[in-house]
Structure 1
Amino acid sequence: SEKIDSYGYPELHVIFDGMDFDVPTEVEAGYHVVVLDPDEGFSAYVDFMQPPAGLDRDEAVETALRAAAWDEVEEGWTFGGGSYAFQDKITRSIVRLDPGEWQIAASWQLDEDGADETMELYPLNVTDRGVGVAEEMAPAPDVVMELNDVAFGGLDQSIPAGPTLFEVANVGEKPRQMVLFRTDRALTSDDFGEWFGAMETGTPPADPFEMTWVGYAALTSPGYSTWIELDLAPGIYTATSWVVDPESGMPALLLGMVQSFNVE
C-alpha cells in the first residue's frame, strides 16, 4: 500500500485478537488510513456509521449487522466507508471522517464458508481540529470509481496493470458498497440475473462464469468515499454492488450495477 501510505495520514487501527476488537475512542477529523487487522483464522469487517437518533443499542447493532452481512440498509443511517480483511491479511484503506459522534461498526467471523458473523458498535468521537477537512490534501486516485445507485462510472476505459489507487466514490442518492472480482469474461447485470434465476429453479448452471474476489469497499453514503489500493494483474475485472434496493427488493447488481473493465 505504498500509494496509501505516501500521504502520511494518521493510522486508525481496528485490531481483532480472536475475542474482541481494539479500537480508538477519539480521533481528529480528516483523512485516516484504516488498518484492519484480523487474528489468524478470522475475517473482519469495518465501516464507520452514524445511526439515526433514538435507536437503542441492540437494534442499532442488529441493523449494522444486516447492512454488513446481508446488504440491507435502513433509512436514516450514514456510512462513512471501510473495508474487509481475510485472515492473515491486513487491509489498509483511506476514509474521511467528519466531526461528530460515529460508531465503528466492526464484525468478525471464522474464515470459512457458512460461518456466522458477529457485529459490535464502538463509539468514536471525531473532534474538530480547527482545520477544515476541505483544506487538507485529499488523496489523488489513479481511478475514480463512481457509485451511482444503479450504475458505475469511471470504468469505461482500460486501466494499467500494477498498483492502483481507487477512489470508490458515492455520487448517487443511496448507500452503496463495491465488490470487485476478476472474471473470465466481461459480465453484465443480465448474466447475474440469469445465474440467480437458474439457482432459484433448483438446477444451478454449471459455472456460467468464473470470478475470484479481488477487492472491497464497504458501504458509503452519498458524498463519501473509500480509497483502496489494489495491485492488479492484466485481465478482466468486474465491479458489482449487492446492496438491496428497498423498493424492488432486488440487489443493485440486478438493477444494472455491474461493470467490467480491462487491466492491461
Structure 2
Amino acid sequence: MPTEFEGGLTRVTLVNDGDDDHHAMFIRLGDTVTAEDVDAAAANPDFGPMIGLGDILGGPNGAVPGGGRSTVILDLAPGDYVVVCVIPDADGVPHYIHGMIAPLTVTESASALEAPDSALTVELVDFDFDHLPAEIPSGQQVWEVVNVGQEPHELVVVQIAPGVPFAVIEGIFGGAPAPAATPGHDKSESHEMDEASPAAEMAASPAAMGPPFVTVAGIAPMNPGFTNWLVLDLEPGEYFAICFIPSPAMG
C-alpha cells in the first residue's frame, strides 16, 4: 500500500492473498503519540495499546483467504496513521505482531468528494445492528454503516452454506448471531438484530472456522461517531451479520 495519499472520501480495497482472515484497520494517531508509542504497541500482543493510539476509523474487513476482496469507502482526515490487522493467529497472537502494520500519511485533499449513494443505512449500536433489512435485492450495492453506539464496533457479512439452518450457526457461536439480509428479494422492513454472542471475541472469525459459512465483506472496527460505506456484490442466499469485538465494559 502507498505510504502517503490525499485524504477525504477514499475507496480502499483489501485483497487477501493469505491463508488466514485479515482486515485493514485505519488508526489516526493522536497528536501526542510518538514513534516510540507506536513501536511499543506493535510489540505488545495485547491489542489494547494499539487501539489506544488514536481514532479507529474502520477499513475493509471480511475478505476471504485465497484472493478474496473487500472494499469500503472511508473519510480520512489529514494526519499520521497506522493500518493494522488485529485479528489473531491460531495461537491468539495479533497479526500486527507478525508485521501486519504499515505507516500512512494523509494529506489535504485537492477536491472534495461527495458521499456515495447508499442502498441502506445500518447503525451499529450496543449491541445490535439497527435498520438492517431482513431481505434485500442481490447484486451490487453500497451500505452506509454508522457507529452510533458508545463502544467500538465492526460489521462482518457472512454467507451461510446452502441448506444450513440458522440454528446451526447459533450453535457454533454459542449465542445468537443475527440473521442478516437475504439477497434476492426486495423488502424494506427493518430487522432488529440480536447481540452477536457473549463469546463473540476478536479471537476467531467465520472463515477461520471453516464450513458451513464464509465471510464475504465487512467493515473493520471503528469508534463511535464514524462512518464507512461498505461496497457489496451479494449473491442470492442466506447471510448473517456479526461483530467480534469484545465489550470493554462487559467482556
* TM class by smaller structure: 0.5 to 0.7
Q: Partner amino acid for 1:98?
A: A
TM-score, length-scaled by structure 2: 0.66
Q: CA RMSD in A?
A: 3.8
Alpha-carbon distance between aligned partners in 2 of 1:158 and 1:96, rounded to the nearest angstrom: 28
Identify unmatched segments of 5+ residues in structure 2.
177-196, 200-210
Q: Provide the identity percentage.
A: 28
Question: C-alpha offsets along residues 189-230 of structure 1, whole Å, 9 cap, x if unaligned?
Answer: 9864458899xxxxxxxxxx9543232210111222232222
Alpha-carbon distance between aligned partners in 2 of 1:130 and 1:81, rounded to the nearest angstrom: 23
Q: Which residue of 1 aligns with 2:8?
A: 30
Number of equivalenced pairs = 209
Q: Which residue of 2 aligns with 1:214?
A: 216
3-state SS of 1:231 partner: strand
Q: Bigger CA drift: 154-163 or 116-125?
A: 116-125
Q: Which residue of 2 aligns with 1:129?
A: 109
3-state SS of 1:164 partner: strand
Give 1 or 2: higher strand fraction.
1
1:91 aligns with 2:65: no
After superposition, the Cα gap between the structure-2 partners of 1:66 and 1:176, relative to the gap in structure 1 and judged at 3 Å, is farther
After superposition, the Cα gap between the structure-2 partners of 1:108 and 1:174, relative to the gap in structure 1 and judged at 3 Å, is closer
After superposition, the Cα gap between the structure-2 partners of 1:177 and 1:62, relative to the gap in structure 1 and judged at 3 Å, is farther
After superposition, the Cα gap between the structure-2 partners of 1:194 and 1:169, relative to the gap in structure 1 and judged at 3 Å, is closer
Alpha-carbon distance between aligned partners in 2 of 1:163 and 1:32, rounded to the nearest angstrom: 19
Question: C-alpha offsets along residues 154-184 of structure 1, whole Å, 9 cap, x if unaligned?
Answer: 1144211222222222122211111222344
Larger radius of gyration: 1
Alpha-carbon distance between aligned partners in 1 of 2:198 and 2:125, rounded to the nearest angstrom: 25
TM-score, length-scaled by structure 1: 0.63
Question: C-alpha offsets along residues 107-134 of structure 1, whole Å, 9 cap, x if unaligned?
Answer: 7999xx6696324433322222365x5x
Q: Which gives a bigger RCO, structure 1 or 2 (Cα 8 Å, sep 6+)?
A: 2
1:60 aligns with 2:60: no
Q: Bigger CA drift: 51-60 or 175-184?
A: 51-60
> 1:77-156 counterparts in 2 under 5 A?
77-84=54-61, 85=63, 86-106=65-85, 117=95, 118-129=98-109, 136-156=113-133
* Paired residues of 1:102 and 1:125 also in contact (CA < 8 A): yes
Alpha-carbon distance between aligned partners in 1 of 2:109 and 2:71, rounded to the nearest angstrom: 24
* Paired residues of 2:33 and 2:53 also in contact (CA < 8 A): no
